[in-house]
Structure 1
Amino acid sequence: MVPNTILLRELAAAALLFLLTRFFIRALLPKPSRKLPPGPTGWPIIGALPLLGNMPHVALADMAKKYGPVMYLKVGTCGMAVASTPDAARAFLKTLDINFSNRPPNAGATHLAYNAQDMVFAEYGPRWKLLRKLSNLHMLGGKALDDWAHIRVSELGHMLQAMQESSLQNEPVVVAEMLNYAMANMIGQVMLSKRVFVTKGSESNLFKDMVVELMTVAGYFNIGDFIPSIAWMDLQRIEGGMKRLHKKFDMLITNMVKEHMETAHERKGKPDFLDFVMANREKSEDERLTMTNFKALLLNLFTAGTDTSSSIIEWALTEMIKNPSILKRAHEEMDRVIGRDRRILESDLPKLPYLQAICKETFRKHPSTPLNLPRVSTEACEVNGYYIPKNTRLSVNIWGIGRDSEVWENPLDFTPERFLTGKNAKIDPRGNDFELIPFGAGRRICAGTRMGIVLVEYILGTLVHSFDWRLPEGTKLNMDESFGLALQKAVPLSAMITARLPLSVYAP
């Protein structure tokens, strides 16, 4: 019995030593913070949803003044983190980028984007990487953009001609309609080898209305996304509208793809974007692309490719009409560099720093995606000493950063000169300078960033160089916003134009 007693004592001593050792090691190690970021209390069950109102980007910017650069809101049954300063955005989109590389499930991805089979909402993984790679190689990357530069020139010619005809008839130009008509045809030629709208009219206007509706409803804070157990009730009637809109888009895109496949023999030796994508249908089991992926990708490129860039250009023209001295200085720069006997070329853009400053200032004050597209945390993490749980949704308030007086001097003023000298002169909107991230940043930065910058600078430059701009007699300039995935003008810009160049240069 004595050996057993000794053994028991030794075991007890060993156990006690083990427990004491664990206790002291844990006591000495830094304890992970479990404190959530500050934020509003919200309401029972629905949380902070009512606090967001009709303009969530504005409401969240106001909250950030009280709660700080990183906020945490309970929205329904979901947690949402909001980054409201450049440093906070950098922490989420650069330092913790891989942890926030997925999108949260939502009705827009399900009902509009073919159940997230597109590139925008797809899960971060092999299929998304393949779609992104193909898009960069054959449409959105530098070489691809150079390859279809002649299409941009031609389609701008068609748009200028239509605008000049309106001018000769003393009719105002509805800027958004003209831009949508031109951009949809640019993208249609690259993707499908055809102008999707041969003439500007009811068909192109209907498409514009559909795109605006998609961007608007996809930006709604849908109760069903945040309280999934009641999603089936569709209390706001949002999902029903999404389903009806999807049917319209699906019919349009299905017909485009069908016609494209039937005319394949006409493109022998001259493949377009869809030809290249369809040639890569099967890379491996993980990267197998389906017809649904193709249609979802076309939907991405048609909608985001037309609406985001056109909204930036429309806001820029609006600000220039509001501030005639800016328009005058832009005209003077272009007349000095280009003259008035030809249209602007893309090769002229690097020689037009004031035009580029106008574009940057518009990206700052009127970002096309005010809250960026939402992301979700794959694992729990820590930001600024605060605990961010797993499956937390992330919104980066790009609009709020652009209007922050701690970041920008006189942020409510439209002042392109801020980007010509000093610390702001080197700021670039391509995702590395977090003071100005209109396209987002990190792995899920907008795939069309390069294309978007080219289109905005080239088309805006062409419109400014080609025409004088003024409001129709007796009208007032409306600067109100309409919230959605893209930040539209609440009242589209309608303006009178006068040609500044010889009529011969307006032809396609």
Structure 2
Amino acid sequence: MDNYATALWNSFIHQMSNVSSTFSTTFLRFSTTLVVMGFALYYLYKFLFVGKRNMQPGLPPFLVKPWPIVGSLPEMLRNKPTFRWIHKLMKDANSEIACIRFGNLHVIPVFSSEIAREFLKTQDAVFASRPDIISGHITTKGFLTTAISPMGDQWKKMRKVMVNEMLSPIRHRWLQDRRDKEADNLVRYVYNLCMSEGGLVDMRVASRQYCGNVTKQMFFSTRYFGKVKENGGPGFEEEEHINAVFTLLGHLFAFCVSDYIPMLRGLDLDGHEKVVKEALSVVEKYHDPIIDERIQQWKNGEKSDQENPNDLLDVLISLKDEKAEMLNHPEIFKKATEEIDRVVGKERLVEESDFPKLNYVKACIREAFRLHPIAAFNVPHVSLEDTTVVGYFIPKGSHVLISRYAVGRSPKVWEEPLKFKPERHLKEDGVSLTLTDADLRFFSFSTGLRGCKGIHLGSIMVFMLFARLLQCFSWSISPGNGPTIDLTEEEHSMFMAKPLVAVAKPRLPAHVYLVHLA
């Protein structure tokens, strides 16, 4: 028995030894295979992803290694003026194009005409906008002008004004006598210096005086804001004004810290904002009284001939007023009234049953809601869960605000979006009886699950209000408002800053009023 047990035990040990040997060999082979596969997958990953990513173009060379978050702003602050510092960096690097990161923004200096053509000609449309800078925002009251404004509706509108009204060939010829007059004055000024001061001429003063005077003549029909010197040169007021103007020009695109970290706006870490505001206050001290007086003259009817403006200020004021709706566009007003007369007549008052046939009247109302929504944003919608919209992640709890103002005035949707044009809403099958748009091209009432359930009632009320007032009365602008209605909005709302006051006169036979008002 003992021999049998011993033999059995030895047999077991032998088998386990074989198993252990086989396991070790298998494990070694498996481990080797894993290592080989690991290396293969690693190099495959590098080839397919890392290598591919490295083959993509990178940024231009950095002239200064950026710090986290702030980039190279510390170096910018230590090396004033910044433009000279950048030129030195470019010269030292012998580079025609480079990159400097200020905050999270990349600044790309270009020192080559060939490369510049690539930016400004080959890809002009791509680089056609302007940066949102604090000095530009302050001086233009929120980018209401054209030259330094970022791309957008306001820029397009003002560019059209500049091209068609301010800088057109007709205007250029019209203002030639103003330019000639100031050229004569420049000669006179220098001649006086020759006679009284031995011909010593400060060319900066002379050139700035001429440029400033030409501009003032074209815009304000005046040469001087204050008292002129005996030699015809600029007095204190002129010098203060023109110095402020050039201070503003010097601080545009002047590497302000808050231009690159917008959250710092208002802190004025480098004193940039203070200088701009002080210079602007000087300019406004001379400009605003003239502008305010001229606007009042137009409102009072002292100036009303838009065909014969006195200067460019008159042109701008008349253009500003021309954007007004309905009462400011008598041809539209007349067309809507004629439609009511044709459909309803003058022997009875318009009823709700007439609305399906009053397509132009409804189009006028829709256009008014498109251009002048009661609130800038729709009522907020909140996401109930994480989701993706047009390729973007929207996390749960997000507030979604739809801008009625922006949607209604989008140039991607509406041709001439700032123009009051009811015809854009007319369709072959008529105009909707509700103030909605199937494609959400403008918002009055909301839509979907949270859409207003009283939309039909609300629409009918608006139609009736407008149609009755239009049918029953002829309307004119109150003399106190001037020749046109001022549609300037309140600062904190979308309502008109000044309530609309108009003059009404009955336009239907007397018995129609008597029957319905008895």
Which protein, 1 or 2, shows the higher relative CO under an 8 Å CA cutoff with sep ≥ 6? 1
* TM-score relative to the length of structure 2: 0.45
Bigger Rg, which one: 2
